[in-house]
Amino acid sequence: MAVNCLITIICVLVLFFVIVMIIDCNRFVKREYCCESGKLKREGTFVLLSDLHNKSFGKQNERLFRAIEQEKPDAILIAGDMYTSSAREDNQEIAAFVQRLAERYPVYYGNGNHEQKTRLFPEIFGDRYTVFADRICQAGVRLLVNDKWYLPDYNMEIYGLEVGREYYHKPTKMLMSEAYMEEMLGKADENRYNLLIAHNPEYFDNYAAWGADLTVSGHIHGGLMRLPVLGGVISPRLCLFPHYDGGRFTKAGREMILSRGLGTHTLPIRIFNPGELVVIHLKPKNR
């Protein structure tokens, strides 16, 4: 009797988690943040997208597009991994989605490790990256691969950082030298508001020390499953209960907003962790 009862409880729990996972893998929520700085000249609303991984929320991602439209953003920030580095999966549907966004809004795109992988290994992925990059750039997307773009109306510099692949190795975290950020991006201008698109959030200390006023990141997928108090359960580097799992973090007056992403890859798991559409309101301080 006790054994049958235990089996029943286990089956019910498994069914419950499977249902939650199916629901959470196919929905997204909106989270909003407000960031203020005396360096900013004007207000702006920016939508942050990350880790879509070829996911479609409706035909041609119509649900996601409509949700973005409702926010009336001034620009879109993309923090990488919009598609998955697979020799089998096509990325042109995602290119079409990004192209559609660029027809309505300025789009600033920073690569994630999946875009980087397809760029570095054409012998495996062919021209997948170049075709994707050419298509979105022709649509007007600013693809920032260790590059920057200045918005004079805001007094804001937007940087896109692509770290070396060694900084994604698992399970041991690679240390980043103090000079690395400057080698990749040059010196940050402290008189400007420096917004950094950096896919990997684990190096937030380095980003802040370099001079990023606001870093926007992804990569962690919210820890796949989220538990009360403990937060995200596991990171892509196989680290249990990662410190940087999602939300807002601060370091010496610098901020990072870490998206929990929108899609999945390899392990199609999201439990108590739906996809996330992030809306960032930038405001001049004391104005």
**What CATH number is associated with residue 159?**
3.60.21.10
Query: Which residue, among 247, 216, 219, has the nearest Cα to 231 in the 3D structure?
Result: 247
pLDDT at 287: 56
Q: How many domains does the chain have?
A: 1
Q: Per-residue pLDDT for the chain (287 aa), expressed as one digit of tens each?
A: 777 888 888 999 999 999 999 999 999 999 999 999 999 999 999 999 999 999 999 999 999 999 999 999 999 999 999 999 987 888 999 999 999 999 999 999 999 999 999 999 999 999 999 999 999 999 999 999 999 999 999 999 999 999 999 999 988 899 999 999 999 999 999 999 999 999 999 999 999 999 999 999 999 999 999 998 889 999 988 889 999 999 999 999 999 999 999 999 888 999 999 999 999 999 999 75
Q: What are the contacts of 205-208 at 24+ separation with CB within 8 A?
A: 205/251, 206/176, 206/178, 206/180, 206/181, 207/161, 207/181, 207/254, 207/256, 208/251, 208/252, 208/254, 208/256
User: What string of H, E and C letters represents the secondary structure of 216-244?
Assistant: EECCCHHHCEEECCCEECECCCCCECCCC
Structural domain including 265 reads 2-284
In which order are the strands placed within the sheet that holds 247-251?
Answer: 147-151, 156-161, 193-198, 214-217, 254-258, 247-251
pLDDT at 269: 92
pLDDT at 267: 83
Query: Which residue, among 277, 263, 269, 278, has the nearest Cα to 226 in the 3D structure?
Result: 269
- For the chain, the C-alpha Rg in angstroms (whole number) is 19
pLDDT at 88: 82
Query: Which residue, among 95, 101, 69, has the nearest Cα to 82 in the 3D structure?
Result: 95
**Helix axis angle, 92-102 relative to 62-71, nearest 10°?**
20
pLDDT at 152: 98
Supply the pTM of this predicted model. Answer: 0.96
